[in-house]
Structure 1
């Protein structure tokens, strides 16, 4: 694997197959319409939530983070800026290094159930996945899809095996099989297995099924960290 520091891109030995043009066209059309509708409906509640986040703790209520997108045909992996409602204190990234030894999952991912960096409002919006709603902007811009594997952090990529890279053969998503099958209760290897299963059987009806399951989890908070 080769890393280009100037652009933040990675080049991997894995070369994805980018077929199924018809499905990808329909999926992109759905992404634009669905994300546009959510953004319009959620505009006022989102503004109120931003105010509440800002009142509880200083800092921008919208948190942005560099994530890695889908692999190109030549194996290049490009970064993009992903958005969330801020669920942690503003210095959360600086405090991460001191918490790495408390990681509760194996592999290239960090999860901690009682993370001290999470605010009170943050615990609620994370439990119900409300913190992810700003990613509908990423979906509308074409950086993500509504359904797909979650986009990894750049620091996680060097730990990937060649098999792990296969989960990045499709555009990353806001929700997917990991979110509806246990979320933080699953290990990294289990997440990869679920993502590869999704890539094998993906289709428009399956995407709709995963969206319906996700809506249920938004209300129940099942499997949240």
Structure 2
């Protein structure tokens, strides 16, 4: 969707590690798995199609296994899925360790101890511990089961809601599968992708350079 220079690539890499925290995802492994998802959408080769599992827990467990194969380089990906993703082996390694995830978890608890004013606020902690998997479960399950379709993509991708603020545009799965290299996931007048305006500002500020999407 966009390119950037090495300085901002490294900056975003570090910020991703800090902001994802206990849910940090190795960018290389994620990119390869995501490309597999697009290439084999809703087929048996899809690493996380909801149509081959009885519930979301089974789907996400299968997703974790597929991701770990690429994270630990136990599986050689197809040549077409390689390249054009950021790699920082030291950061990616330590960001993926259980020690790192536990440290971030303890930091989240410490934040709540310092700032929580009601006991029920601590019930939000599991969301912070597992925010990445929870986000992925919602997008992968709902985005291929519930909603409407603007395009016939030969899969079961759906746009779950036209106002996708909670998942930041990720639930426009039908649009995204039709135009995977378009930065704007919204395609109809009533659809709103809240991340696209942010990317446009970053483009104007020359932090990133949006690519022209190719339409088929």
What TM-score do the two structures reach when normalised by structure 2? 0.25
Q: Please state which structure has a larger fraction of its residues in helix.
A: 2
Q: Please state which structure has a larger fraction of its residues in strand.
A: 1
Higher Rg: 2
